[in-house]
Chains A and B, each alone.
Chain A
Amino acid sequence: MKDFSWGGLIVAVLGLLIMASPAYFFPVCETMISTAAGGSAPMKCFWTGRAALGGGGMIAVSGFLLLLAKHPGVRLGLAFLPLCAGLLVILTSNLLIGVCPGAMMPCRMGTLPALSFFGFLAVLASGCIAVSAGRRMAALGGAIRRAGEKSGPYGEKGAENGERA
């Protein structure tokens, strides 16, 4: 099986989309809540947007690193980073922080589905990279094992000379 090498690019693009969604494509609510003390505070979707900026950034950086990494072991380890960050983006927007409750508010209509969608795709793409890298690791391990069995601990020459025998 060929390595899912261009998957890193997909992950990086998804990370950038997650970062840009709350600010540009599907903006969070701009209205401020008036506090009892007479001040104003941003609504909770604002903080979800901030969290998405961090999570998306992490996904984008790990996507670029995945593009550079060649060793399947390194790729396997790196793939878990966007996978967890994608899950975090889904969880922060749906549960941990959430968005405003009103069904017709921009954050609930646009930002929440966008973050859930891109987060899900990031998890899916990272999962595919992890599975692909894992298979390559297993194939590589098998090849090394076979080579070891063939040559023996002292190399092919030693085995031929009957040193082990």
Chain B
Amino acid sequence: MKKLTSWALIRQNLSRKPVRTGILAVIVFLFSFTLYCGTVIGQGLSQGTRTTAERLGADALFVPYGYDAKVQSSLLRGEPSSFYMDRRFSEEVRQEKGVEKVTAQLFIATLKASCCTLPVQLIGIDPETDFVVRPWMASAIDRPMRDDEVVVGSKIVGQVGDTLTLFGKELTIAARLEPTGMGFDTSVFLEIDRARRLLLASELGPRLNLPAGLDRNAFVSSTLIKAAPATDIKELVNRISQKYAAAYNLDFVVVAGMITDMAAKLSFFSRCIHVFSGVLWVLGALVMALVFSALIRERKKEFAVLRIIGASRSALGRIVMREALLVSLSGAFAGVAAAMLVTTLFNAYIGAVLDAPSLEPGPLYRLAAAAGALLLGLMTGPLACLPAMRKLGRIDAYIIMREEL
């Protein structure tokens, strides 16, 4: 004959009511899942935004009129685009007061690349003046790029030494950059003059629709400016715009503003997730408290019998508490496991859907988030069953059993 232990009772109570047990576990599952996903995705976006601000290095970008949104989507998400402006602007603006550094970049969207048959963003950089890409390119390649070499972002297919066919030309991958979470991850970098020659020699060359008056051998896509210390960036950008906008048909993007917009979007997302998790937790705890309260009422006779055969009040309390703990544990564990699986597998997809630069948080952060979500999920059941346990203390075995007779 099997010995009657509290664990055997708990197991039987839970397995005899699979629907009730399942619903309670699902409530904890949803809470833990939402909490983990929200925390990890929020951290990924915050890390992506921070890296973008750090890596961009420039204070303002000048682009052809109407292309401010295009350059942002190209920089942040790597959406390929091509637009052109006069190179002379970057030479003239260098003379302006308050301008410390100036560099030009050429953006070319390929028709398709051998690596993936989808358009890739080619970014031509000026090796002599560049202050945006080269500082962090230095860790990947410590010498000037050769004419037949390119440096690729972390998400471009191919190993160092492999060849990449762009516009019908085979180029060797000289280095691969570290993940940044921004559009640079899906871009290919090469020397600006080489990029221009490549474009002009390609099938796109003869059909290239350059704005009127633009020299076919001296066009760029954007001019990036770093202001001198203690310079009012807004005032500088306004001054440059007023002076050159009409002559060069310019538009501008202030990097700090772009980052602030992203940070505001991110903070809203983060707040939404945490409010949602909080509401879910309170609702879950309330539902569980109601269920446990009804459960105690329903099982009054069972507890009375247990009291009669010698179980103490604290033993009954332990049974209810352990039941709640087991339900919470199964729900929280399944929720965190599912959330870890989903955020790991769908990381790139989530970043693309949210339309913001995103970097996957490190394993330590993810482990801490998992432990936090597991702990909070685990606490739900025991906390919710506390009011029900007070009722348990008021059970009078004699009266309950006499009512039965």
Contacts and interface: CB of A to CB of B under 8 A. Distances in A.
Contact of A117 (B116, B185, B186, B341): B341
A86 B149 CA distance: 44
Contacts of A43: 117
Interface in B106-158: 112, 115-118, 154-157
A109 B157 contact: no
Interface string A61-85: 0000000000000000000000000
Interface in B1-41: 15, 18
Contact of B118 (A102, A116, A117): A102
A2 B352 CA distance: 44
Interface in A71-111: 100-105, 108-110
A117 B342 CA distance: 8
A109 B349 CA distance: 5
A113 B345 contact: yes
Contacts, number: 53
> Contact residue range for chain A?
20 to 34
A103 B341 contact: no
A103 B115 contact: no
A102 B348 contact: no
Contacts of B116: 100-102, 105
B78 A104 contact: yes
B244 interface: no
A104 B186 contact: yes
A120 B115 contact: no
A147 interface: no
Contacts of A103: 154-157, 185-186, 348
A113 B346 contact: yes
Interface in A1-59: 1-2, 26, 29, 31, 33, 43
Contact of B15 (A1, A100, A120): A1
A44 to B, nearest CB: 11
B77 to A, nearest CB: 9
B352 A116 contact: no
Interface in A110-149: 110, 113-114, 116-117, 120
A105 B15 CA distance: 45
Contact of B345 (A31, A101, A116): A116
Contacts of B348: 103-104, 108-109
A101 B114 CA distance: 11
A102 B154 CA distance: 11
A156 B230 CA distance: 103
B15 A102 contact: no
A148 B176 CA distance: 72
Q: Could you say which of B18, B117, B156 has the most chain A C-beta atoms within 10 Å of its C-beta? A: B117
A31 B349 contact: no
A112 B351 CA distance: 16
Given A109-B349, A117-B342, A101 B115 contact: yes
Given A1-B15, A2-B15, A105 B118 contact: yes
Contacts of A101: 115-116, 157
A163 to B, nearest CB: 32
Contacts of B342: 117
Q: Could you say which of A1, A104, A110 has the most chain B C-beta atoms within 10 Å of its C-beta? A: A104
A1 B12 CA distance: 9
Contacts of A102: 115-116, 118, 155-157
A159 to B, nearest CB: 25
A33 B117 contact: yes
A11 to B, nearest CB: 17
Contacts of A31: 112, 117-118
Contacts of A120: 341
A115 to B, nearest CB: 10
Interface of B: 15, 18, 78, 112, 115-118, 154-157, 185-186, 341-342, 345-346, 348-349, 352
20 contacts: A1-B15, A29-B118, A31-B112, A31-B118, A43-B117, A101-B116, A102-B116, A102-B118, A102-B155, A103-B156, A103-B157, A104-B118, A104-B155, A105-B118, A109-B346, A109-B348, A109-B349, A113-B346, A113-B349, A117-B342
In order of increasing CB-CB distance, the 6 nearest A-B pairs are A102-B116, A113-B345, A103-B155, A101-B157, A109-B349, A109-B348
